[in-house]
Amino acid sequence: MTDERTAMRHALALAERGPATGVNPQVGCVLLDATGTIVAEGWHRGAGTPHAEVDALSRVPDARGLTAVVTLEPCNHYGRTGPCTEALIAAGVRRVVYAVEDPGRLSGGGAARLRAAGVEVTGGVLAEEVGEFLRPWLTAERLGRPFVLLKWAATLDGRVAAADGTSRWITGTAARQRVHEQRARADAILVGTGTVLADDPELTARGDAGELMPVQPMPVVVGERPVPADARVRRHPAGLVETRSRDLAAILRDLYDRGVRRVYVEGGPTLATALVAADLVDDYAVYLAPTLVGGDRLAIGDIGIPTLADARRLRLDAVERLGDDVLLLARSARAEGRTP
Ligand SMILES: NC(=O)c1ccc[n+]([C@@H]2O[C@H](COP(=O)([O-])OP(=O)(O)OC[C@H]3O[C@@H](n4cnc5c(N)ncnc54)[C@H](OP(=O)(O)O)[C@@H]3O)[C@@H](O)[C@H]2O)c1
């Protein structure tokens, strides 16, 4: 006998098997019979493939009377696949238990549709854990722009470059490998034109041996100036996007419309400052090396804070040691629970 919280934890583990990138959320589902035994499991493998509920339903000959335990409220719209609500109703599922509501303007409303068809529905089971797991996707859906993770690598005194502009490499290999992992979990990488002109980065996600990872985020160069014809980022396998604009809110909206749900911002300081000042950063990944260079090349410039009492307050999520360096993961406190 599996209780519904335990079944939800199992569904969450299934959800984690799906791809973290892309337009669709990672969702898992298990089907329980009347004795609470798991009779099928399913998860979503990415846009265009069956949703978790439909995947689980396809693995039982007869779903009548079963309980579906699913991490996200079943969708209620025709996308590339049909609505999960209709599939659950047609299959004769008796009860649906979900963790978090689908905030999608088009896909939401599944619980109401199921109830109207006589299905017993309970939401909010393990909502905190699942909500945390799905936070980037949920944030993107609520705000209509991608989830923004801002990263920088700084010396212990907060400098991201030396007086002559050199910034490679501030951190060691373990930290740089962690950056590649973070790149691979994003749909797009953003940098300002200044960074492309100064560093000529490739912006690919690479493994330990320098090999390209199977999934490559799209590089987006933000700013009015053109990217030089011979810039390395022009040869990026995912194809370069040049915004030729500084309008960050419009750029993020446009990326959302292209299916981007997570962006990883790699600087430089001018772009980072503009994003922070405009309150467009959700999470921070700050790599700190135990070195000092002094000077004025700070990670963040003026963000309009006149006095300490007005300091932007972040919530520290984790601290990781990577060789001699440290990674601080923090989130923007006011981004929590924010609705559009
Ligand atoms: N340590 C690190 O983590 C790290 C990371 C990246 C870079 N860096 C270092 O940072 C330095 C480059 O700094 P940077 O500040 O020039 O680079 P940047 O932030 O990449 O680029 C600055 C340019 O972005 C454009 N831009 C786009 N949106 C903007 C907005 N909303 N407001 C203002 N400007 C906007 C502007 O150029 P347009 O005129 O084209 O509009 C601006 O000049 C280099 O020394 C590099 O090595 C360090």
List pLDDT tens digits, range 71-127.
999 999 877 777 999 999 999 999 999 999 999 777 778 999 999 999 999 999 999
Give per-residue pLDDT as tens, 208-247.
999 999 989 999 999 999 999 999 999 999 999 999 999 9
User: How do beta strands 38-43 and 67-72 pair?
Assistant: unpaired
pLDDT of residue 48: 86
| pLDDT score at 340 | 34
Q: Please, what is the average pLDDT of the chain?
A: 94
- How is residue 22 written in tokens? 């892309």
Q: Tell me the CA end-to-end span of the chain in Å, nearest whole number.
A: 41
The CATH 3.40.430.10 portion of the chain extends over 145-335
Phi then psi dihedrals of residue 170, to 5 deg: -75, -40
194 C-beta closer than 6 A to ligand 1? yes
Q: Is 133 in the pocket of ligand 1 (CB under 6 A)?
A: no
Pocket test for ligand 1, best of 160, 197, 202, 233 (most atoms within 8 A of CB): 160
Query: Contact 324/289 with Cβ under 8 angstroms?
Result: yes
pTM reported for the whole predicted model: 0.94
The whole-angstrom separation of Cα 89 and Cα 91 is 5
pLDDT greater than 50 at residue 332: yes
Architecture in CATH of 145-335: 3-Layer(aba) Sandwich (3.40)
**pLDDT at residue 166 tops 70:** yes
CA 167 to centroid of chain Cα atoms: 27
Rounded Cα distance, 182 and 199, in Å: 20
Q: pLDDT value at position 1?
A: 66
Count the neighbouring beta carbons within 10 Å of the beta carbon of residue 199. Answer: 19
Range list of β-strands (E), the chain:
28-32, 38-43, 67-72, 95-100, 120-122, 147-155, 188-192, 218-222, 241-242, 262-265, 283-289, 314-322, 325-332
pLDDT given for residue 339 in this prediction: 39
pLDDT at 171: 98
Q: Are 160 and 269 in contact (CB under 8 A)?
A: yes
- Give me the residues paired with residue 192 across strands: 222
Is there an atom of ligand 1 within 6 Å of 266 CB? yes
Fold of 4-133: Cytidine Deaminase; domain 2 (3.40.140)
User: For tokens 């790599």, what's the residue?
Assistant: 287
Percentage of the chain lying above the pLDDT 90 cut:
91
Choose the catalytic residue: 41, 53, 141, 266.
53
Residue ranges, comma separated, of all CATH 3.40.140.10 domains in the chain are 4-133
Q: Are 68 and 54 spatial neighbours (Cβ–Cβ below 8 Å)? A: no
- 250 Cα–ligand 1 center, Å: 18
Q: Residue 337: what pLDDT?
A: 45
- What is the Cβ-side half-sphere exposure of residue 199, based on CA atoms within 13 angstroms? 21
Give the pLDDT of residue 79: 73
State yes or no: pLDDT of 267 exceeds 60. Answer: yes
Residue 275 banded pLDDT, cuts 50, 70, 90: very high
